[in-house]
Chains A and B, each alone.
Chain A
Amino acid sequence: MSAVTRIQIGVLAAACLFVELLCRSGAISPLTMPPPSAIVVDLGAILQSKDMLGQIARTLADVAAAFVLAVIAGFLLGAGLAALPRLRAVIEPILASYYAIPVFVFYPVFVVLFGLNHYPRIAIGFLLAVVTMIINTLNGFDRVPPVLLKSARVMRLGRVATVRHVILPFAALYISTGLKLAVAYAFIGVIAAEFILSGDGMGYEIAYAFNNFENGVMYPLILVLLVVATTVNMGLYAWERRFLARQTAHRDTS
């Protein structure tokens, strides 16, 4: 274990201990928040409940579906726009102002389109995540130095081979940023849709527990969300560092 990892774990442990002390000393009321140790015990109980495990699994499956669809569609649309500059000139201003649109207002439309099931939540997660993937794919494609593309032409690579062997490897760093943001947006979209508009899923359970003062349910579910979202993001970050960090110094110095 590296020194940085040890420090990170130490800081996290110290923060938990600090909150534990605040809760145990009464500085934080038990009605506001139970001590972290009690949250962990409650989590153990929740993880034994088949119903609650089902809710967690459903939400995570919806997040995964929204993420995968957003990554595939976002990448293809980003690559397509990079190849079609005229279409891009029309679409780009819309993309730039996209996050000003509250996509949740489309939930009723999705209910009409998909029915009263989990698809509208996937659609909301997808809509939030897809644009960041498009923008980061475009950004990656834009940043490929023209000299690399000229080199590909000199080596007589066709368009597909140029994309596969030159553009994609170079753009991978930027695309991976899109992946990390798409995970975050997929979580936000699905959980928020469950929270506000749905009748099941983790977001709904958290909202229900909040309205009924069930801290023993609300905090463990928040903890699950935090752990899963952080683990996925750290996994992507580690992958990025392992496979792509060697390029960074080169770009900085060239």
Chain B
Amino acid sequence: MREPHVIVEGATRIYPGTAGRAPLHALGPIDLTVRKGEFFSVVGPSGCGKSTLLELIAGLQPLTAGRLVFEGVTVNGDVPPGVGVVFQQDASFPWLTVCDNVAFGLRRVGAPAPEIERRVESALRLMGLQAFATAYPAQLSGGMRQRVCIARTLVLEPRLILLDEPFGALDRQTRLLMGDELLRLWRATGATVVLVTHALDEAALLSDRIGVMSARPGRWLEIIETGWPKERDTGLVERPELSGLTARLWAHLRKEAVQAMGGGASG
């Protein structure tokens, strides 16, 4: 078994009450160990704390209780080095060209110009953005802007890539293509990937393991091994096991999704 890369122990997040409102227990307590080089996905009903979990791992939010360790170092409210995050919303900087967007992080850490040039060129090639290096985000489609954000993350060579519904705004066809690109990048970089998604088929297609969360406060209902080989792509859609996996995920989530929506529907 590969070594643990991220360890989550009893992680809990409670948002303090404001303006007379009661505190909101968003997540946990949950435990999780993500192995080095693993592709782990998190699915769950809306509002179950999937994104909160990702932000806790990224160090973007403090834990209310519990412990979180990345590469042996405790994380709590500060982003540790070696972590990259791709958000669902477009996070490209509109005042910079594609090339400058991708180079942004490297310039901030003072990397030498030749190295910046080499790494940016490589990231642009990897994401198929060479022809758009001088374009501004406003001139690109939503999918291409998301690729810019992925390239901006990859260029920093993170060892842990956290993806918060990165393809949420894309159509199904583009999602499949982006899924292929993501698998290719995952294999090429050897990074650990944690993907939060609401798309069960996407999680079933891409992941080594899938964590299924309950309605808020999010806790694990089950963690499922997909059993896919490392060399895979979205051609797996033709495999009968995929529909079995998706059905298993939905069987867990149906009741939780109804509960998250207010509990009115019959089961």
What interface size band does chain A fall in? 20 to 34
A residues near B90, Cβ cutoff 8 Å: 147, 254
The 0/1 profile, CB within 8 Å of A marked 1, for residues 83-96 of chain B is 11101011101111
A154 near B108 with CB under 8 A, answer: no
B136 near A147 with CB under 8 A, answer: no
B138 near A153 with CB under 8 A, answer: no
CB of B60 within 8 A of chain A?
yes
A148 near B93 with CB under 8 A, answer: yes
Q: What's the nearest-Cβ distance from chain A to residue B241, in Å?
A: 35
Other than the given A145-B89, A154-B79, A161-B108, 9 more pairs (CB < 8 A) read A151-B91, A155-B105, A157-B108, A166-B93, A170-B95, A247-B95, A249-B138, A250-B94, A251-B94
Known: A166-B93, A169-B93, A170-B95. A253 touches B138 (CB 8 A): yes
Q: Using a Cβ–Cβ cut-off of 8 Å, how many residues does chain B contribute to the interface with A?
A: 27
Q: What's the nearest-Cβ distance from chain A to residue B157, in Å?
A: 13
CB of A159 within 8 A of chain B?
no
20 A-B residue pairs with CB within 8 Å: A147-B90, A150-B85, A151-B91, A154-B58, A154-B83, A155-B105, A156-B108, A157-B108, A169-B93, A170-B93, A170-B95, A172-B95, A246-B95, A246-B136, A246-B138, A247-B95, A247-B136, A249-B139, A250-B136, A254-B89
Residues of A contacting B: mostly: helix
CB of B211 within 8 A of chain A?
no
Rank and list the top 4 A-B pairs by shortest CB-CB distance, nearest first: A250-B138, A250-B94, A249-B138, A247-B94
Task: List residues 3-18 of chain A with CB under 8 A from any CB of chain B.
Answer: none
Known: A156-B81, A170-B94. A247 touches B138 (CB 8 A): yes
CB of B220 within 8 A of chain A?
no
Task: List residues 155-183 of chain A with CB under 8 A from any CB of chain B.
Answer: 155-157, 161, 165-166, 169-170, 172
A residues near B81, Cβ cutoff 8 Å: 156
B residues near A151, Cβ cutoff 8 Å: 85, 87, 91, 149, 152
Task: List residues 51-77 of chain B with CB under 8 A from any CB of chain A.
Answer: 58, 60
Assembled-state Cα–Cα distance A150/B156 (Å)? 16
CB of B137 within 8 A of chain A?
yes
Q: What's the nearest-Cβ distance from chain B to residue A58, in Å?
A: 39
Known: A165-B108, A246-B138. A155 touches B156 (CB 8 A): yes
Which of the residues B96, B104, B137, B139 comes within 8 Å of A155, measured between beta carbons?
B104
Closest residue of chain A to B158 (Cβ to Cβ) is A154
Which of the residues B91, B105, B108 comes within 8 Å of A147, measured between beta carbons?
B91
